[in-house]
């Protein structure tokens, strides 16, 4: 089938590439000429494991095309909208990109007579599909159906998630669109039927509910981590006792420096704005983002408190391991590392950092304010403390003797609770994690 994808960001590029992988002819359109040039050279502008090779294979098979020419979508049966919906200053979703994309698509399909399916994959507030339909009606031939098809991809595992999804949510009231989308997604649901059909607004809310629920799990365990410290308890022991309950489970129930990325913060704030516009009272939903944002300063405060009787933060050098908001991505959007580093800089500290994939994006944020180190051990030289912020596998089993020999103060601040505090104590370290303190 001929498929178009408008937008070659994280969602659009993964979707377009995976549709091409199973044999569809795909055209990906983006206004960023530099990005299109990179893609046409076989270079992927984001880091996502496995994606680059799939792009190269699709290009070799002539199944995918990258272009800035919107008119290339004219012959496509299905057109996916996968453009950004960033947060406005008010917290609401900024829909300008999606409105522009819908208008441009409408103008192109107005010159055609065949039935088109316009599918939105961008995360949007409830009711956006009606807005898209209105734009299309005003500017096109009206021979189309609109579909809400939210994505549920995890950065770092997006290829696997797209190839073997838990579910495929389709929001439309068009029987013809249902049939066409069923054909497109059949290769991704061979073992069992994964398509779930509903109204467009229900599909939009499904995406927002899923992210809200997962973000709430993150917020709740991080708040309980603070409670544990107050009662001289270890959150990891409490977590084991709680998450063994099948009704609760282990996923997203892990103490950390706070959530980040392009989805949770933006989507929760956008949902809160939407429900406020409807005068709906949502105490839990409204507090989730606040809790998570406030928690990002928690580890920095722990550092400040620990150093208070050791000369303070000013003049100290912190070695930072991990910058991205999670492993297996180069994405630093809303990363807790930004908050922690800014806090330390504001209090007079010097910063040395290492990250397997996030260094270039960090340079765009911090410039020359911090020192970038090629190896994790280089970051330790002349450092006073070690702060781990992202649980990359390369940090999981370091040489602790080398760490201790380099650090001026034998202390590790573990923002992901990946180290064994008893072992570190026996090696002569002070250990401060999230919801656990082991001081000598």
- Judge if 282 and 398 occupy the same domain: no
- Judge if 277 and 350 occupy the same domain: no
Whether the Cβ atoms of residue 146 and residue 118 lie closer than 8 Å to each other: yes
Query: What pLDDT score was predicted for residue 55?
Result: 97
- Judge if 93 and 215 occupy the same domain: no
pLDDT band at 197 (very low <50, low <70, confident <90, very high): very high
Q: Which of 294, 310, 337 is the last residue of a domain?
A: 294
Angle, nearest 10°, between helix axes 128-139 and 96-109? 40
Residues 52-104: tens digit of each pLDDT: 999 999 999 999 999 999 999 999 999 999 999 999 989 999 999 999 999 99
pLDDT band at 192 (very low <50, low <70, confident <90, very high): confident
Instruction: Determine the average pLDDT of the residues in 7-34.
Output: 97
Residues 332-376: tens digit of each pLDDT: 999 999 999 999 999 999 999 999 999 999 999 999 999 999 999
pLDDT band at 388 (very low <50, low <70, confident <90, very high): very high
Query: What pLDDT score was predicted for residue 121?
Result: 97
- Judge if 353 and 390 occupy the same domain: yes
Q: Which residue in 162, 261, 174 sits closest to 214, CA to CA?
A: 261
Instruction: Determine the average pLDDT of the residues in 194-223.
Output: 97
Residues 6+ apart with CB under 8 A from 73: 4, 6, 27, 29, 79, 105, 108, 109
Question: Residue 23: is its pLDDT beyond 80?
Answer: yes
Q: Integer distance in angstroms from the first to the last C-alpha of the chain?
A: 65
Query: What pLDDT score was predicted for residue 191?
Result: 80
Quick check: pTM over 0.85? Answer: yes
- Judge if 185 and 228 occupy the same domain: no
Count of beta carbons in the 10 Å neighbourhood of residue 191: 7
Is position 226 within any domain? Answer: yes
Give me the domain span that covers residue 115: 2-198
Query: What pLDDT score was predicted for residue 146?
Result: 96
pLDDT band at 392 (very low <50, low <70, confident <90, very high): very high
- Judge if 68 and 171 occupy the same domain: yes
Domain count within the chain: 3
Residues 288-318: tens digit of each pLDDT: 989 999 999 999 999 999 999 999 999 999 9
Residues 233-249: tens digit of each pLDDT: 999 999 999 999 999 99
Beta strand 385-388 with 430-432: parallel, antiparallel or unpaired? unpaired
76 as an active site residue: the answer is no
Q: How far apart are CA 225 and CA 301, in angstroms?
A: 14
Of 28, 76, 228, 263, the catalytic one is 263
Is position 76 within any domain? Answer: yes
Residues 262-293: tens digit of each pLDDT: 889 999 999 999 999 999 999 999 899 899 99
Whether the Cβ atoms of residue 131 and residue 160 lie closer than 8 Å to each other: no
Query: What pLDDT score was predicted for residue 263?
Result: 87
- Residue 269's CATH number: 1.10.1040.10
- Judge if 244 and 96 occupy the same domain: no
pLDDT band at 261 (very low <50, low <70, confident <90, very high): confident
Angle, nearest 10°, between helix axes 298-307 and 336-346? 30
Whether the Cβ atoms of residue 265 and residue 289 lie closer than 8 Å to each other: yes
What is the SS3 assignment for the chain? Answer: CEEEEECCCHHHHHHHHHHHHCCCEEEEECCCHHHHHHHHCCCCCCCCCCHHHHHHHHHHCCCEEEECCHHHHCCCCEEEECCCCCECCCCCECCHHHHHHHHHHHHHHCCCCCCEEEEECCCCCCCHHHHHHHHHHHHCCCCEEEEECCCCCCCCCHHHHHHCCCCEEEECCCHHHHHHHHHHHHHHCCCCCCEEEECHHHHHHHHHHHHHHHHHHHHHHHHHHHHHHHCCCCHHHHHHHHHCCCCCCCCCCCCCCCCCCCCHHHHHHHHHHHHHHCCCCCHHHHHHHHHHHHHCCHHHHHHHHHHCCCCCCCCCEEEEECCCCCCCCCCCCCCHHHHHHHHHHHCCCEEEEECCCCHHHHHHHHHHHCEECCCCCHHHCCCCEEEECCCCHHHCCCCHHHHHHHCCCCEEEECCCCCCHHHHHHCCCEEECCCCEECC
Is position 141 within any domain? Answer: yes
* Neighbour-count burial of 139, counting CB atoms closer than 10 A to its CB (0-12 exposed, 13-18 middle, 19+ buried): middle
- Judge if 38 and 157 occupy the same domain: yes
272 φ, ψ to 5°? -60, -45
* Neighbour-count burial of 219, counting CB atoms closer than 10 A to its CB (0-12 exposed, 13-18 middle, 19+ buried): buried
Q: Which of 263, 278, 294 is the last residue of a domain?
A: 294
Whether the Cβ atoms of residue 328 and residue 157 lie closer than 8 Å to each other: yes
pLDDT band at 190 (very low <50, low <70, confident <90, very high): confident
Count of beta carbons in the 10 Å neighbourhood of residue 213: 11
Is position 203 within any domain? Answer: no
Q: How far apart are CA 123 and CA 151, in angstroms?
A: 8
197 φ, ψ to 5°? -100, 145
Q: Give the mean pLDDT of the chain.
A: 95
- Judge if 106 and 224 occupy the same domain: no
Beta strand 78-81 with 116-120: parallel, antiparallel or unpaired? parallel
- Residue 327's CATH number: 3.40.50.720
């Amino acid at each position: 089938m001929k498929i178009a994808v408008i937008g070659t960001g994280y969602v659009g590029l993964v979707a377009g590439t995976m549709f091409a992988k199973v044999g569809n002819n795909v055209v990906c359109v983006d206004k960023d000429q530099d990005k299109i040039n990179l893609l046409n050279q076989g270079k992927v502008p984001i880091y996502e494991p496995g994606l680059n090779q799939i792009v190269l294979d699709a290009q070799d098979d002539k199944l995918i095309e990258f272009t800035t020419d919107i008119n290339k979508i004219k012959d496509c049966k299905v057109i996916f909208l996968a453009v950004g919906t960033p947060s406005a200053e008010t917290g609401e979703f900024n829909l300008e990109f999606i409105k522009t994309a819908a208008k441009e698509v409408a103008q192109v399909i107005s010159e055609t007579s065949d039935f088109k399916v316009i599918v939105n994959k961008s995360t949007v507030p409830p009711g956006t599909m009606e807005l898209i339909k209105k734009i299309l009606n005003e500017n096109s031939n009206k021979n189309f159906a609109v579909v809400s098809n939210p994505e549920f991809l995890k950065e770092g595992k997006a290829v696997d998630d797209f190839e073997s999804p838990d579910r495929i949510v389709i929001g439309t009231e068009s029987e013809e669109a249902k049939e066409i989308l069923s054909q497109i997604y059949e290769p991704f649901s061979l073992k069992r039927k994964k398509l779930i059909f509903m109204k467009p607004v229900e599909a939009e809310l499904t995406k927002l509910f899923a992210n809200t629920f997962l973000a709430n799990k993150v917020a709740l365990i991080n708040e309980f981590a603070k409670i544990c410290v107050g009662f001289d308890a270890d959150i990891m022991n409490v977590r084991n006792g709680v998450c063994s309950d099948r009704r609760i489970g282990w996923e997203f129930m892990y103490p950390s420096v706070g959530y980040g990325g392009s989805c949770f913060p933006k989507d929760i704030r956008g949902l809160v704005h939407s429900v406020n516009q409807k005068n709906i009272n949502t105490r839990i939903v409204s507090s989730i983002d606040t809790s998570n944002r406030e928690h990002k300063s928690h580890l920095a405060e722990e550092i400040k408190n620990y150093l208070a009787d050791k000369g303070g933060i000013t003049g100290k050098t912190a070695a930072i391991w991990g910058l991205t908001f999670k492993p297996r991505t180069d994405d630093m959007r809303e990363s807790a590392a930004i908050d922690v580093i800014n806090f330390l800089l504001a209090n007079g500290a010097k910063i040395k950092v290492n990250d397997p994939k996030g260094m270039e994006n960090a340079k765009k944020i911090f410039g020359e304010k911090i020192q970038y180190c090629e190896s994790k051990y280089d970051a330790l030289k002349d450092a006073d403390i070690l702060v781990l912020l992202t649980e990359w596998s390369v940090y999981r089993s370091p040489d602790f003797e080398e760490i201790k020999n380099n650090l001026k103060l034998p202390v590790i601040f573990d923002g992901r609770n990946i180290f064994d505090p008893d072992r570190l104590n026996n090696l002569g370290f002070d250990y401060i994690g999230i919801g656990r303190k082991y001081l000598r």
